[in-house]
């Protein structure tokens, strides 16, 4: 049973539970306040009755008592109508004195007979006793006194007043507290329901946003709220999480698109050399290659195999770099690498001359700049960049390798800069951001007349990114293309004195 109640309680909406708890707290608080009020009020009214009894006991006219004891009716001598008086002595039994009206309204109190020998004035206190008729309680006080007919002996005088007016007043106040409490609970519950609905409106908006996101709309965001509130902090956290999820989904979608394109391009790149090798193999098996053409066929097969080997090697290198393996971190002087690359370019194409120049024309010579990295990988970066210059610029086009540093004293950073500048036809702006994509070529016909697999600049971008740097394509002043590399400088070497 308890588990069913718990399950049913958990199934109630949050706003219903909050309103129910508030109503229960109001009911408990009002019940405690009403009980305490009724108790204090009854106690105070009873104290007033006790004071009235004690004052009457002190001022009661003994002549009146004599008249009452002699048989005169209480109404005839103006005796207080609500009082019950009883005289007890050792020689006579108890003599009750009360008006008929009082008996008809309240009955008579059931007051025990006192022990006259043990009756002491200091120990007498008012007590509450029952009635013999209507159930209305009485408040009674018994005090020692000399009875009228026995002047030499002590007796006991009992005075009592009905508590009907006290009980009626307490009942009336209790009913008023009950009705007003129910009204307060009802209005409080209604106000709490409205307030909770308004307070939980942002949660409903969050619910609607979550539903829209689950339906595929990753651009939805939770409406902002003041950051000083719990809902505001929750909205900020959810929006940050949603932005992260959207970026993650976008990155995943872009990665999947690149992977599909990568597989498609790799398949396309390998299909042609494989078809060439297969075709020459079939021709040789069929005897369709004359003996004098056999050396040429073997040369073609060897050339296509070399191209496939180069393509596979580039793919393997990119795959290793995609794994996120950090490169070696050794000091590398880029001026030495630039000088070696310029010499290699001259050996490869004597019609071109590459010059190592300072990045700032005002400097007399190119400075010595050192970075932490993998020397072999950085040499490959320069080889790929100069290879692109050879493939895509006319023979004899000059090349500059500019070296220098950039310092931003305001933001507190510096970078080593290496630029490879050519003076060829240049690259259109719409291609400048895509040349570092894998298998990307500037022409749509995917011609191989210029050689290469479309992975050279992709390897450059991957190596530079692994070293914590950036690479971009700029226009060379006067025409041509500049590839700008920025790498973190090596920290200065501490020398011991």
Dihedral angle sign, alpha carbons of residues 250, 253, 259, 261: negative
Distances (CA, A) of 383 to 78, 93, 410: 132, 135, 35
The rounded distance, in Å, linking the Cα atoms of 418 and 442 is: 24
Cα three-residue angle 51-53-58, rounded to 5 degrees: 95
Over the chain (497 residues), the average pLDDT of each successive run of 10 is 73 78 89 91 91 81 54 50 77 71 82 74 75 81 71 72 88 91 89 81 77 76 75 79 82 76 71 81 83 84 81 73 72 89 86 85 72 88 87 86 80 80 84 77 50 73 88 88 89 57
Q: pTM, whole model, 2 decimals? A: 0.48
Cα three-residue angle 276-277-281, rounded to 5 degrees: 115
The rounded distance, in Å, linking the Cα atoms of 36 and 42 is: 10
CA dihedral 296, 297, 300, 301 (to 10 degrees): -140
CB 95 within 8 A of CB 87: yes
Nearest to 341 by CA among 383, 388, 404, 287: 383
The rounded distance, in Å, linking the Cα atoms of 98 and 68 is: 9
Task: Indicate the helix (H) or strand (E) that contains 417.
Answer: strand 413-422
Task: Indicate the helix (H) or strand (E) that contains 333.
Answer: strand 330-333
Query: With left for phi above 0 and alpha for psi between -120 and 50, is residue 81 left, alpha or beta?
Result: alpha
Instruction: State the pLDDT at residue 32.
Output: 92
The rounded distance, in Å, linking the Cα atoms of 60 and 67 is: 13
Instruction: State the pLDDT at residue 179.
Output: 92
pLDDT digit string (tens) for 309-324?
877 777 777 777 666 6
pLDDT, the chain, mean: 79
Instruction: State the pLDDT at residue 92.
Output: 66
The rounded distance, in Å, linking the Cα atoms of 276 and 51 is: 125
The rounded distance, in Å, linking the Cα atoms of 59 and 50 is: 14
Instruction: State the pLDDT at residue 497.
Output: 47
The rounded distance, in Å, linking the Cα atoms of 377 and 467 is: 10
DSSP summary character for residue 109:
B
- Scanning the structure block, which residue is given the tokens 């996120």? 324
366 CB-near residues (< 8 Å, 6+ apart): 335, 338, 356, 357, 358, 359, 402, 403, 404
Kind of pairing, strands 399-408 and 354-358?
parallel
The rounded distance, in Å, linking the Cα atoms of 183 and 26 is: 11
Instruction: State the pLDDT at residue 215.
Output: 78
Instruction: State the pLDDT at residue 67.
Output: 54
């Amino acid at each position: 049973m308890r588990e069913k109640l718990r399950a049913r309680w958990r199934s109630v909406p949050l706003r219903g539970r909050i309103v129910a708890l508030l109503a229960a707290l109001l009911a408990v608080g009002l019940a405690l306040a009403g009980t305490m009020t009724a108790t204090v009020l009854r106690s105070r009214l009873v104290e007033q009755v006790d004071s009235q009894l004690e004052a009457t006991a002190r001022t009661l006219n003994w002549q009146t008592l004599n008249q009452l004891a002699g048989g005169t009716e209480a109404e005839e001598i103006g005796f207080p109508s609500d009082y019950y008086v009883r005289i007890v002595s050792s020689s006579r039994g108890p003599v009750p004195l009360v008006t008929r009206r009082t008996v008809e309204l309240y009955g008579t109190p059931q007051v025990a007979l006192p022990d006259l020998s043990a009756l002491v004035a200091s120990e007498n206190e008012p007590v509450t006793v029952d009635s013999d008729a209507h159930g209305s309680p009485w408040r009674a006080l018994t005090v020692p006194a000399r009875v009228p007919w026995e002047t030499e002996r002590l007796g006991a005088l009992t005075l009592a007043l009905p508590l009907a007016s006290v009980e009626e007043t307490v009942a009336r106040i209790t009913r008023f507290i009950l009705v007003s409490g129910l009204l307060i609970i009802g209005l409080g519950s209604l106000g709490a329901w409205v307030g909770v609905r308004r307070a939980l409106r942002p949660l409903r908006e969050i619910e609607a946003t979550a539903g829209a996101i689950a339906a595929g709309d990753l651009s939805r965001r939770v409406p902002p709220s003041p950051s000083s509130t719990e809902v505001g902090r929750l909205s900020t956290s959810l929006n940050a999480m949603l932005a992260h999820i959207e970026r993650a989904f976008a990155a995943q979608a872009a990665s999947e698109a690149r992977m599909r394109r990568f597989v498609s391009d790799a398949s396309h790149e390998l299909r042609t050399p494989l078809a060439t090798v297969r075709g020459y193999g079939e021709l040789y098996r069929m005897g369709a290659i004359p003996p004098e053409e056999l050396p040429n066929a073997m040369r073609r097969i060897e050339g296509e195999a070399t191209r496939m080997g180069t393509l596979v090697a580039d793919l393997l290198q990119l795959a290793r770099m995609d794994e996120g393996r950090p490169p070696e971190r050794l000091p590398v002087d880029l001026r030495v690498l630039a000088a070696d690359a310029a010499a290699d370019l001259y050996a490869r194409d004597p019609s071109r001359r590459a010059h190592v120049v300072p990045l700032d024309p005002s400097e007399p010579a190119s400075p010595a700049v050192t970075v932490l990295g993998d020397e072999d990988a950085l040499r490959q970066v320069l080889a790929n960049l100069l290879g692109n210059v050879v493939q895509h610029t006319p023979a004899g086009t000059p090349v500059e390798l500019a070296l220098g540093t950039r310092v931003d004293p305001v933001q507190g950073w510096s970078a080593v800069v290496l630029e490879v500048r050519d003076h060829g036809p240049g690259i259109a702006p719409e291609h400048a951001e895509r040349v570092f994509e894998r298998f990307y070529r500037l022409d749509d016909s995917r011609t191989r007349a210029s050689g290469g697999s479309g992975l050279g600049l992709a390897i450059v971008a991957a190596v530079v990114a692994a070293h914590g740097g950036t690479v971009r394509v700029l226009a060379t002043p006067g025409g041509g293309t500049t590839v700008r590399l920025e790498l973190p400088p090596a920290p200065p070497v501490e020398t011991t004195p």
